[in-house]
Amino acid sequence: MNQDLLRKIPKIDVLLARPALENLKESVSRNLIKKTAQEYLQKLRGEILAETITEIPAIEEIEQAVLNKLLNTEPYHLKRVVNATGVVLHTNLGRAPLGGEVAERLAEIAQGYCNLEYDIEAGKRGSRYSHVEDLICKLTGAEAAMVVNNNAGAVFLMLNTLAKGKKVAISRGELVEIGGSFRVPEIMEQSGAELVEVGTTNKTHPEDYSRAVTEKNATVLLKVHTSNFAVVGFTESVSVSQMADIAKENDALVLYDVGSGFLFPSEWIGLHDGENVSKALQDGADVVCFSGDKLMGSAQGGILAGKKELIDRIRKNHLTRMLRIDKLSLAALEVALRHCLDPQEACEKIPTLHMLSMSRETCREKASLLRNKLSQAAPSFCMEVIETEDEAGGGSLPGVVLNSCAVAVSSARMSARSIENYMRSYRTAIITRVWKERVIISPRTLCQGDEQELIQAFTELENLVNEERTEK
């Protein structure tokens, strides 16, 4: 079967003799045309061997694909996809989608110059850190704030500035790895901090920190939000306020990597878990940091907030220059922070918060409407609204289940895997998940325009399936 298909791959000379490629020889070097064509045929061979394709495209299609590649008219490599997985902060799919107002702001800032590092009033150099500091302070109650490239960078800068050469006490339960390449012990070592482990994996008591301070001379107490897992059963951890009490008595600092934090109590969007950045500061953390594109729902960024004297020192660290935030992320963040001044507005306008706050009933209504439209587009498929559980994702709310509803799709003529595969290879890739031999489409994470893509994809899939049937 494979051998048959492999034999059907057109010969390179035949492909190169096709009119479109022949014509190109005047403007593009022969070598490049040949190399591009060979690469394409090689890719085709690979796909046949991997059995991801079962048919050779027509020679016209191959010719066009090679032409597109040569003329750089092939689709962008980084492109929009439809996230139908129900995982709100999908790390592989770019975490937080941004809202309409953000998009408008970005277009405005992107197309011209801006006062990124210019003080318009004074007519001289200004600071990129000035644009959102007041907003962050207002929202968190911090004395001072700044934003860098991402939270991993923020953690590193915080430690490198405030804990280098110092003994830093951290609970063994918080020596975590986040997202594959961010390991707390390694970041601490790289930053020059000396690790003093306290407690055990499941239990850490206030006395453990006290002893680290009095017996081992720890001068910094570090707390790390265990973002991507929850320890259940016999657990005990020490709160920020307990840590702050110990620190105060001994002139130590409390630093807190919140990772994913809300700027207001999570109950306001109907969730009973989630760190509140303002509360951490109120409870006595000296500096906190968290991601801009997790529960904050903005673009990539690492937000640092806390005591003015300490933030000033971080700002002056030479390494800060290497991790500075770019103007587009900063512009996006300013919009999101403004939305957050009014939590209700935030829930409406920040897509991530909106998605997280959707109740099962809202999801059921959306799923039901979607089911009707999709089964109209593809009547031969079986579509049902089922109750499911979605996730916050992005290592943000471990253990929080988002009660949800989704459309479950199946077909007598096509396996769930094949439907999933078709959706993923659609013009605008549609990412779904397979569960119990059905393709699950969660309405929670659909963005503007996604429904139309789904309808179109199912319409075309229905035609394909019907064509196959008439051929047989």
Binding site for ligand PLP (CB under 6 A): 150-152, 155, 178, 182, 224-225, 227, 257, 259-260, 291, 302, 395
SS3 380: coil
Instruction: Output b/e per residue, 312-341; b: 16+ Cβ within 10 A.
Output: eebbebeebeebebebbbbbbbbbbbbbbe
User: From the centroid of its chain, how far is CA 469?
Assistant: 41
Nearer to ligand PLP, 15 or 243 (CB): 243
Question: Do 406 and 335 form a contact (C-beta atoms < 8 A)?
Answer: no
Strand order from edge to edge, sheet including 402-410: 87-89, 382-393, 402-410, 438-441, 433-435
Nearer to ligand PLP, 149 or 432 (CB): 149
The CA distance from 315 to 326, in Å, is 15
Residue 63 vs 174, nearer CB to ligand PLP: 174
* Cβ within 8 Å of residue 208, ≥6 positions away: 171, 198, 199, 238
Per the CB < 8 A criterion, the answer to whether 335 and 101 are in contact is yes
Task: Quote the DSSP letter at residue 202.
Answer: S
* Beta carbon of residue 194, minimum distance to ligand PLP (angstroms, whole number): 20
Q: Which is nearer to ligand PLP, 84 or 176 (CB)?
A: 176
Query: Which is closer to ligand PLP, CB of 173 or CB of 259?
Result: 259
- CB of 224 vs ligand PLP, minimal distance in Å: 5
DSSP string across 410-451 = E-SSS-HHHHHHHHHTSSS-EE-EEETTEEEE-GGG--TTHH
The answer to whether the beta carbons of residues 240 and 256 sit under 8 Å apart is: yes
Two tokens, residue 360: 């099962």
DSSP secondary structure letter of residue 193: P
* Burial of residue 138, with CB atoms counted within 10 A of its CB: 0-12 exposed, 13-18 middle, 19 or more buried: middle
Residue placing its CB nearer to ligand PLP in the complex, 210 or 291: 291
Smallest gap from Cβ 315 to ligand PLP, in A, equals 19
Q: Which residues contact 75 (CB under 8 A, 6 or more apart)?
A: none
Q: Helix 327-340 vs helix 133-140: angle between axes, to the nearest 10 degrees? A: 30
Residue nearest to ligand PLP (CB): 259
Q: Phi first, then psi: what are they for 397, rounded to 5°? A: -130, 75
Rounded Cα–Cα distance for residues 431 and 425 (Å): 9
Q: For residues 178 and 244, which CB has a smaller minimum distance to ligand PLP in the complex?
A: 178
Structure tokens at 236: 């005990």
Q: Which residues pair with 248 in a beta bridge?
A: none
The minimum distance between CB 91 and ligand PLP, in angstroms, equals: 8
